Amino acid sequence: MYKVKKKRAVDPNAPPRPNLMTHEVKLRTAQQTIEALENQVRIMVARVESLETKARSQTQYLQALHDSVSRNK
């Protein structure tokens, strides 16, 4: 009445078949890594801007000090 399907021969050396849950976990892990890196970049950009402002301020102060000393000679 019904024909029984024959099972395919399985290669014992073949890698395991893909699992959608595994892919989902890998995607979620990659997304978390990307978000962490984006956060770290935001923090570093803010720090660089802060240090640039500080360096600019110190340069202006030293320039003013230099000008003051040069005028008093």
SS3 10: coil
Percent of the chain with pLDDT over 70: 97
In the predicted model, is pLDDT for residue 24 greater than 80? yes
User: Please, where are the H alpha helices in the chain?
Assistant: 20-71
Residues in the chain: 73
The mean pLDDT of 9-36, rounded to a whole number, is 88
In the predicted model, is pLDDT for residue 1 greater than 70? no
Output the pTM of the full model.
0.61
Q: Is the dihedral of CA 19, 20, 21, 23 positive or negative?
A: positive
Q: What is the per-residue pLDDT for 53?
A: 98
Give the integer Cα–Cα distance in Å for 3 and 29.
Answer: 45
Distance of alpha carbon 6 from its chain centroid, rounded? 50
In the predicted model, is pLDDT for residue 47 greater than 90? yes
Q: What is the per-residue pLDDT for 20?
A: 80
